[in-house]
Copies of this chain bind each other. A is one copy, B any other.
Amino acid sequence: MTLPTTNLDALLSDLNGLDLITEPNQVAKLSQDYYHFSPVLTPQLKDKVGDVVIRPANEAEVLRVAQACVNYKIPLTVRGAGTGNYGQCIPLAGGVILDMTRMSAVKWMKPGLACVEPGAKLAAIDKQTRDIGWEIRMAPSTYRTATIGGFVGGGSGGIGSVTYGQLRDRGNLLAVRVVTMEDQPRAIELRGDDVYKVAHAYGTNGIITELEIPLAPAYPWTEIIVSFSDFMSAAQFGQTLSDADGMIKKLVCICPDPIPKYFAALKSYLPEGTHCAFLMISETCLEPLNEFVKDFKGTIVYQKSAQDASRGAAIAEYSWNHTTLHARSVDPTITYLQTLFPDDKNLQLLEHMYHHFGDEVMMHLEFLRYGGTARPASLQLVRYSTEERLNEIIKYHESKGAYIFNPHTYLIEDGGMKMVDTAQLQFKQKVDPYGLLNPGKMRAWLEKDGK
């Protein structure tokens, strides 16, 4: 699809005075995200670029952009910092890239709650809310650069999920304000379960302009790495610690051998050939933590106090998909999977997969709460050969009862959900009747007319 130039010119003329970027290199750069973690997505997405980047300063400007796009039937794709990995913000049909990073205010905050603009970086929100003793509940490993709007629009969980579950869980997102793409665009507020109409919808059915999010107490987080001589001790340690109701934790990440080898900056701390647990634990829980370490015959090889945690590399930056990032910086042929293992305290399927695939699928565990119980998710590192083999690996996992959230698709439904979210589709039909918002990403929309 290419846009009629006359329409684009008319749009630019209508939006005179806004912060517009048309310089092709900059537009190309702001058309990208981190889909290149996937060798499957790369050829599908690498040539996709928008026509213009617009950086609104407030909701009134968003409304102006929405009106102009509706008037000229020009696609609009919203982006935050572009740290997603599934091509969430790649403009498949060109048009306007709406870069939200200028709308970055924390509008208000109080104990347990904050109201923020979508372009606020996660770390920047924390910097403000920690002044009153609170912080955001969960964040991806791209915490320093990612925006809250991008996280809610395209993410699911991360550091903090071992305590608070997923963004999807009630209580983790309280309200959103969205601008519609109707004939007369307007801003509407969604609260309660209505927030899920637009959460994790990749900006396909509304432009988020404000979010009300819960805050968690800002415990003094100590960063700790514990090494273990065998994989299952490390994994069981992770499960047991995650299940420990009296222990305050933010990260329980297990990087079995050989993954620690990819972490150059931490090399001196990580004993060769060991399996490491990367933890963020409240300083107040350090003594009981030692008892768990003893139980599983681990060794604490790295420890950074909460006070020092702001200096140097944060161990959270080796967790979640930053594990993949570090591995790929050494070996760019590596890709990854996203897997939820069953609720089984013995971790039998996990153990099976660890041995079954050996070095081809390197286990990397992130414990998270799912339906009230801590479970291991795995962002396995995969030594990629072919798409067929990757699909075989996925199918094998699914056949054994491990749930795959496929990161090698840009379709919302084909990632985690596997089925059409009727509420999201109906909301799109209402607020984006012309299908201009991030076209091509919602399978239900593409197939709605029986195509």
A150-185 CB contact bits vs B (8 Å, 1 = yes)? 000000000000011110011110110000000000
- Determine how many copies of this chain the complex contains: 2
Q: Give Cα A217 to B216, complex, Å.
A: 9
Residues of A354-375 at the interface with B, using a CB-CB cut-off of 8 Å, are 369-374
Q: Give Cα A175 to B291, complex, Å.
A: 13
Q: Give Cα A215 to B370, complex, Å.
A: 25
Given the known A-B contacts A112-B283, A192-B287, A291-B193, are A171 and B244 also in contact in the complex, defined by CB atoms under 8 Å? yes
Question: Is there contact, CB below 8 Å, between B174 and A112?
Answer: no
Question: Is there contact, CB below 8 Å, between B374 and A372?
Answer: yes
In the complex, whether A30 has a CB less than 8 A from a CB of chain B is no
Given the known A-B contacts A111-B219, A219-B111, A248-B112, are A372 and B242 also in contact in the complex, defined by CB atoms under 8 Å? yes
Residue of B nearest to A113 (CB): B284
- A163: chain B residues within 8 A (beta carbon): 245
A172-215 CB contact bits vs B (8 Å, 1 = yes)? 10110000000000000001110000000000000000000011
- A191: chain B residues within 8 A (beta carbon): 287
In the complex, whether A247 has a CB less than 8 A from a CB of chain B is yes
User: Among the listed B111, B219, B244, which residue makes an inter-chain contact with A112, where contact means beta carbons less than 8 Å apart?
Assistant: B219
In the complex, whether A335 has a CB less than 8 A from a CB of chain B is no
In the complex, whether A338 has a CB less than 8 A from a CB of chain B is no
Q: Interface size (A, Cβ < 8 Å)?
A: 45
In the complex, whether A330 has a CB less than 8 A from a CB of chain B is no
Question: Is there contact, CB below 8 Å, between B217 and A217?
Answer: yes
In the complex, whether A292 has a CB less than 8 A from a CB of chain B is yes
Question: Is there contact, CB below 8 Å, between B288 and A171?
Answer: yes
In the complex, whether A133 has a CB less than 8 A from a CB of chain B is yes
Question: Is there contact, CB below 8 Å, between A192 and B244?
Answer: no
- A369: chain B residues within 8 A (beta carbon): 245
In the complex, whether A414 has a CB less than 8 A from a CB of chain B is no
In the complex, whether A61 has a CB less than 8 A from a CB of chain B is no
Question: Is there contact, CB below 8 Å, between B111 and A244?
Answer: no
CB distance from A195 to the nearest CB of B (A): 9
In the complex, whether A290 has a CB less than 8 A from a CB of chain B is yes
In the complex, whether A24 has a CB less than 8 A from a CB of chain B is no
Q: Give Cα A139 to B72, complex, Å.
A: 63
Residues of A237-288 at the interface with B, using a CB-CB cut-off of 8 Å, are 242-248, 282-285, 287-288
- A171: chain B residues within 8 A (beta carbon): 244-248, 285, 288
Question: Is there contact, CB below 8 Å, between A111 and B220?
Answer: yes
Q: Give Cα A318 to B171, complex, Å.
A: 26
Question: Is there contact, CB below 8 Å, between A285 and B245?
Answer: no
Given the known A-B contacts A220-B111, A282-B112, are A164 and B244 also in contact in the complex, defined by CB atoms under 8 Å? no
- A-B pairs, top 9 by smallest CB distance, nearest first, are A243-B372, A165-B245, A171-B246, A217-B217, A169-B246, A170-B288, A112-B284, A172-B246, A245-B369
Q: Can you report 15 A-B residue pairs in the complex whose CB atoms are below 8 A from each other?
A: A111-B133, A112-B219, A112-B284, A163-B245, A166-B245, A170-B246, A170-B291, A171-B244, A171-B245, A174-B288, A191-B287, A243-B371, A243-B372, A245-B369, A245-B371
A133-B217, A170-B244, A191-B287 known; 18 new pairs, CB 8 Å cut-off, are A111-B219, A112-B283, A137-B246, A170-B247, A170-B288, A171-B244, A174-B284, A192-B291, A193-B288, A214-B246, A214-B248, A214-B284, A214-B285, A242-B372, A243-B371, A243-B372, A243-B373, A373-B373
